[in-house]
Amino acid sequence: MNCYIHVPFCAAKCGYCAFYSEAGAGKELVEAYLRRLEQDLSADIVHCETVYVGGGTPTYLDCSQLERLCKLIHRYLPSDENTELSIEANPESLTEEKVALLRQYFTRLSMGVQSFDAMSRERIGRRCSQEKLLDALDLVRRAGFPHWNCDLIYSLPGQTAAMWEQDLRMAAECGADHISCYALTPEENSRLGATFDEDDERETEFYQLAEQVLDKYGIHRYEISNYARRGCGCRHNLNVWRGGLLRGYGPAAAGFDGFIRRIEVESLNGWLNGAPPEVDEIPLPERLNEIFAVNLRTVDGWDEAAWQRVENSDRWENRLKIAEKLQKSFPGQVSTSGGRIKLTPEGLLFWNTIAQEIIYGD
């Protein structure tokens, strides 16, 4: 089982953010969240292959709240030496004490750097000073997490290709074995959304630059937005992209039981007051197409064994037929060689269109 815990708190909302979180919540609200989380976790104890704690900003919690969260996970989501336990952290709220605590409980830390350029961070509403960012990275490096990730955003206002290259180099040189690179896509109603002009050409240029630069450091693209040293990909995400079973805890968290996706209500108060999750009951053939499309975001795509591991999957031959049809519609963008269905480097650039065809085409 893969488990996701959503921690719905942030110090303040960033100017582009689409994730659900409450800004500046007080101690009582955090305590109420932890109490309800314990109820949900204790209702059904499951052994986990992966646990991912995201947000929001999990490190917004103070040290004693964070310790409570760690203990809840340890108690109710039993793990073994092979379990991947990941948590997201923001540099501005990370302290030496918190890093030491997280190192005891987690095997992987994901740091929200976004940019090493202080001005670029400020333009998107990230409040961390340069000094604090470098100190936090140093703490994480010295703590010796088996794996850690640096999150970067590109196509930032005022960012040149040279600035993006510098961000990539700094991320690769700071010791992370995993780097996530997302194009800035502000929510329409966010502060940045009103003024942001999307530039597809620039986005493509920066996307390609990321691969060129990181390859030289031995950090390779394994999914459209994710790069890692060999064997250091995020197992939680890989499992979820491949249609693995998922339990979601906390407001806005999604879960999947092999048939149905459940999404907890996107409201802390609603969730605390027992509002039911939204149930997304699309028929199995459509769900399978969705899973098939999502994992085509990965460089390796599908082989028969991976497809057969999907709960209730159909025959591999059906998938090959779909792939062959896609090859006609998208020449040069879909490969079926070597017993594997995957997108070519050019196809990855058009994943959105290909996914739409898989999910909504006939």
Task: Round to whole Å and give the CA distance between 76 and 72.
Answer: 6
Taking residue 249's Cβ as centre, other Cβ atoms within 10 Å add up to 23
Q: Is 13 in the site for ligand SF4 (CB under 6 A)?
A: yes
Length of the chain: 362
Distances (CA, A) of 243 to 36, 111, 135, 284, 312: 27, 26, 38, 12, 10
Instruction: Look at residue 87 and give its three-state secondary structure.
Output: strand
Taking residue 124's Cβ as centre, other Cβ atoms within 10 Å add up to 21
Given 14, 73, 77, 224, the residue binding ligand SF4 (CB under 6 A): 14
Which residue, among 30, 5, 8, 11, has the nearest Cα to 20 in the 3D structure?
Answer: 8
**Angle at alpha carbon of residue 117, lines to 155 and 60, rounded to 5°:** 95
Given 6, 22, 52, 56, the residue binding ligand SF4 (CB under 6 A): 56
Stretch that binds ligand SF4, among 12-20, 41-49, 205-213, 284-292 (CB under 6 A): 12-20
Q: Which of residues 77-136 bind ligand SF4 (CB under 6 A)?
A: 90, 112
Q: Is 19 in the site for ligand SF4 (CB under 6 A)?
A: yes
Instruction: Output 6 or 36, the one with its CB closest to ligand SF4.
Output: 6
Stretch that binds ligand SF4, among 16-24, 25-33, 129-137, 190-198 (CB under 6 A): 16-24
Q: Is 340 in the site for ligand SF4 (CB under 6 A)?
A: no
Stretch that binds ligand SF4, among 13-21, 115-123, 233-241, 332-340 (CB under 6 A): 13-21
Given 4, 5, 21, 219, the residue binding ligand SF4 (CB under 6 A): 21
Q: Is 10 in the site for ligand SF4 (CB under 6 A)?
A: yes
Q: Is 57 in the site for ligand SF4 (CB under 6 A)?
A: yes
Least distance between ligand SF4 and beta carbon 25 (Å): 12
Burial (Cβ within 10 Å: 0-12, 13-18, ≥19) of residue 11: middle
Binding region for ligand SF4 (CB under 6 A): 10, 13-14, 17, 19, 21, 55-57, 90, 112
